[in-house]
A and B are shown apart, each in its own frame.
Chain A
């Protein structure tokens, strides 16, 4: 079974991790995860390239899951994203 710890380890192994959120969206069966990664490694990379980097890093794990969803930001983009969310919440 895939666990959050396992995914965290695999991501830390391959990426500079500025911020990481992994959510089990399977209601516990370990087959569906959503990952939000903020990394300097994403600098100057298109979204498609970033998703490919994560797909590659988690190749084994993803093949055992039913569903996988990801969000990828550079630190600057993540700041913007948070600011936007804050604004919307106000």
Chain B
């Protein structure tokens, strides 16, 4: 029910409408069962950040999934806001998520229910600073003040 709200807010944020994405999802609708679709839909909106990967954060089974989880760690995404799904443990999910996202590879990352991309996109957004902005704007990580010069003498003395 709140999904349209989320989507429109993120759309505002990014300034573009992924029209091809939407029509692509409609096309994929035919191949994915209603039940599988609604399960995945529930999964991608279950926490602010959702990662579909090969293996687990502690034991990634693929270099790309390892890179993705490392980026999220570097960004300081708190554990309670991140959920990962191991596609190797669930064949149905493995093929289902590819159709759902219209994306042929794993890992896949979602932020507040919106598909962000795969490993290449995640890394390039990390390098350019876009990922930090996206996570901040979605309330996943706290905003860092641009001007720390405002001296706040409350710093703890070791």
Contact = CB atoms under 8 A, between A and B. Distances in A.
Interface of A: 46-49, 51-52, 55, 59, 62-63, 67-71
B102 A70 contact: no
Contact of A49 (B18, B62, B105, B124): B18
B139 interface: no
Contacts of B120: 51, 69-71
Given A46-B14, A67-B64, A52 B21 contact: yes
A47 B16 CA distance: 12
Given A46-B14, A46-B18, A67-B64, A51 B118 contact: yes
Interface string B108-121: 00000001111111
Given A47-B121, A67-B64, A52 B20 contact: yes
Contacts of B119: 69
A48 B24 CA distance: 13
Contacts of A47: 117, 121, 124-125
A52 B105 contact: no
A68 B117 contact: no
Given A46-B18, A67-B64, 14 more contacts: A47-B117, A47-B121, A48-B18, A48-B115, A48-B121, A51-B120, A52-B103, A55-B102, A55-B104, A63-B104, A67-B105, A68-B105, A69-B64, A69-B120
A52 B116 contact: no
Q: Looking at chain A's contact residues, is the secondary structure mostly helix, strand, loop, or mixed?
A: helix
B99 to A, nearest CB: 12
Nearest 6 CB-CB pairings of A with B: A62-B104, A48-B117, A47-B121, A55-B104, A69-B120, A70-B120
A19 B105 CA distance: 24
B97 to A, nearest CB: 14
A51 B109 CA distance: 14
A38 B104 CA distance: 21
Interface string B43-79: 0000000000000000000101000000000000000
**Among B24, B104, B116, B124: residue with most chain A CB under 10 A:** B104
Interface in B88-111: 102-105
A65 to B, nearest CB: 9
